[in-house]
Every structure is written in C-alpha cells, then in structure tokens.
Structure 1
Amino acid sequence: MHKNTFLAAIASLGLLSGCISLGSEPPEQLLTLTPSATIPAGAAAEGEVSAALAIQVPNVTQRLNVTRVPVTTSDSSLAYLEGAFWVEKPAQLFRNVLAETIRAKGNRLVVSAGELEYVARTQLTGQLVDMGYDATTGSVVVRFDAVLRADDGTIRTRRFEESIPGVLPEAVAVGAALNEASNTVADEVAEWVG
C-alpha cells in the first residue's frame, strides 16, 4: 500500500512539472553602465581617511529600485522597456560610474565601499531622480540631485541632468544612450566636486 502511494505521488509530480514554472527565461543580455573616464592600472592615491570623499549609493524611488528600465508613457503612467534588464540596480551602477569618474578626474582620495566610506568627513550622496526612457519624447533622461557635505559641515546641493533625444525604444539603443547620459552627468558632478 505504501509503495503504491509513493509511486502515485511521484507520478503526480511528473504531471505537475509541465504546469509549474520555476522561473522565466533569462534575458538574452543585461545592460550595465561603463565609465568613460577610468584610472590606469597601477595608479595609487593616499591620504587621511578623514579627508577622503565618500560616494554613497544614491536614493531612488520604487520605480528605479528594480533591474528594469522605466518608460514614461504619460504624465501619470509608467511601463518597463521590454527586454531591457540591468545587471544590478541602477543606483549601484550609477554610483560606480560616479566613483570611477571622480577618481579619474579629481585630485582627491575617493572611497566608495566598505567601512571607510562612513569615516570620511566629505560625503557625496543624493537622489537618482530619473534614469529611464521617455516614450513621449523618444529620449533617455538621467537626473541626479546631488548633496555634498563638506568636511567643515557645510552642505551644497545641485541638480544634474542629461537628456539624449532620438533614441529608439529598443533595449540596446536605450542602454547605450543611458550609459552616455550617465557619463555626462558623472563628468559634471566630478567637476563640481573638484
């Protein structure tokens, strides 16, 4: 009796396997951001950690807290671009581009991961307000509200924005345009931070 029950249970699992999906097909490719300004291999920097610049992962709203590319379809509606998936969340990718760009273009010690970033007295943070595709204009937009807290306690803020028009609503085209726009914003932030 127990043997028949066991065989019946295995047979029913076999039938169910055609009905159950344990995950969707993986995307053909993943999008990422690549800094256009990089430091060469072997380059070094040193200084007091208290004088370093820490670059925090920017805050985002829920629409950017996913690995999809948001598409603005009207003033009050949103979709996600078909077939466009980030390799990790956009805020982390953007922070990596910011950190590498500031390291490459600036004259300061930059820390952006681990415990050292919390010791640094100068902090760059902010909100990644937009990093997506606007279907109403056919453009990509990267908008970053930066907050720089200096080592003397003063706080400066500034909005950085780059828009690239004429982009087709396809994953590869949008990904390339977002990479370009992110690097433009990172260049401007690097200049502002010094």
Structure 2
Amino acid sequence: MPHRFRSLRTSALAAIGALALSGCFSLGAKPPPFLLTLDPDAAPAAGTARTAADAATLTILIPTAPQKLRTTRIPVQQDGASVAYVKDAQWVEAPSRLFQRLLSETVAARTNRVVLDEGQYLTAPGEQLAGQLMEFGVDARTNEAVVVYQAMLVNSGGKTVTQRRFEAREPIGSAVEAKPAGEALTRAANSIAGEVADWLGGA
C-alpha cells in the first residue's frame, strides 16, 4: 500500500471518529437565552462630587457566600436538605459581586458618605462594611425570592464591630422561571440595600 494512500486513509478514519464522538459529547454548554443582573432603585446622579476625610469614607467589601451561591446560577431550596437551580437562569457575574455593587450605588445615593470599593480602599478605607450573603435564591416551599445579608460594620480604627442581619422576601408566582425569579431577587436585594443605607446613614 503506497504511503500516500495510507496517510489519506488514516485522516479519513480520524475524521469519521471525530464525527461519531461529536454525537455523544458537547464541547460547550448551551448558553441561556439571556443573562440576569441587579439594577439599583437608587443611584448617584451623574456629576455628583463629594469630599471626605479618611475616617469619613466607607468601603463596602464583597460579601462572603456559601458554596451554593458561588455560581452564576439561582439556587432553589427544595427542602431542608436539597438544592436545585432555576432552569436557564444565569447572572452576568457572581451574585455576591452584583449585590456589593448594588449596595454601593444605593448607599452612595441615599447617604452623604463617600463610598469606596475594594479596588480603592487601600488609600483611605475609613469604615468598612463586610458581611455574608447567606441566602440569594428561591424558596420553593413558599415560592418566594429570599435574600439574607449578615452585615458587619467595622469602624475606621478597627476596634468596634457592629453586626446586623437583613432579610427580604418577594413573591415569584406559580412558576419558578428565570425572568420572574431574577425580578423578584432584584426587588428583594433593593429592599435590603435601602435598609442598609438607612442604617448606615444613622450610624
């Protein structure tokens, strides 16, 4: 058998094998029809400028989150022991980062504080708002979107720590689907952000 013919036969067999495998395996997950994000109800007006001493600034840190929230999907708590995810529902980025940004926008709009994020706080951190995003999903038992945020406010000297727990629930409706779940979570997140801003405004 000529060498050239053997090479062509080998290439043809490889191509047939690749086609057969493509029927069994997918090279990538099917993308969702759309991506979800959190839009703040309140945001600073364009051109707003504020000046503060180092101790008067507030740095809002990205909250920690349990394993079920370290994903861009929306968890559904079926019962006390099992978790599923809403079909075709996916955030544009991790919910802890989206929630931190929404908090920053809301606090900056509703208080007189100069709000910094983690990329800026090394220069003048001032007070720091840390915490844990404990719940950010759907409770299938009540058909509600649930957001639970455990906030921790640390003063500029790091000597005083104040904790406060915030929780909000919003009805979803009869069917747990991507768009209504995302909208309900956005309402719940904005409700908590407003409560946090009121708390910090009086702190």
1:13-51: CA deviation from partner (whole Å, max 9, x where unpaired):
233333331112110111111100011111122234453
TM-score by length of 1: 0.92
Summarize the alignment of residues 90-105 of structure 1 with structure 2, pairs less than 5 Å apart: 90-105=95-110
8 Å Cα contact 1:167-1:177 kept in structure 2: no
Give the SS at the match of 1:38: coil
Aligned to 1:156: 162
- The amino acid across from 2:182 in the alignment is G
Supply the distance in 2 between the matched residues of 1:111 and 1:80 (Cα, whole angstroms). 33
Superposed, which structure 2 residues align to 1:41-80 within 5 Å?
41-49=46-54, 51-80=56-85
Q: Judge conservation of contact 1:54–1:118 (CA < 8 Å) in 2.
A: no
What is the one-letter code of the residue matched to 1:175?
G
Does the Cα contact within 8 Å between 2:172 and 2:180 map onto a contact in 1? no
Gapped runs of 5+ residues in structure 1? none
1:37 corresponds in structure 2 to 42
Find the aligned partners of 1:166 and 1:28 in 2 and give their Cα distance.
20
Aligned-partner residue type, residue 118 of structure 1: L
The CA distance in 2 between the partners of 1:96 and 1:164, in whole Å, is: 21
Matched length = 193
* Structure 1 residue 118: Cα displacement: 3.4
TM-score by length of 2: 0.88
- Displacement, 1:172? 1.2
Percent pairwise identity: 41
Aligned partners of 2:44 and 2:66: how far apart in 1?
31
Distance 1:139 1:20 in 2: 36
Select between 97-106 and 165-174 the one with higher mean Cα deviation.
165-174
Aligned equivalent of 1:180, options 187, 194, 199: 187
Gap regions ≥5 residues in structure 2: 1-5
Secondary structure of 1:117's counterpart equals coil
1:140, 1:167 within 8 Å by CA — same for their partners in 2? no
Match of residue 26 from structure 1: 31
Aligned pair partner of 1:167 in 133, 150, 173: 173
**3-state DSSP of counterpart to 1:118:** coil
- CA distance, structure 2, for counterparts of residue 21 and residue 147 of structure 1: 44
Task: Determine helix, strand or coil for the equivalent of 2:37.
Answer: coil
Letter in 2 for 1:58: P
| Deviation of 1:3 (Å) | 4.1
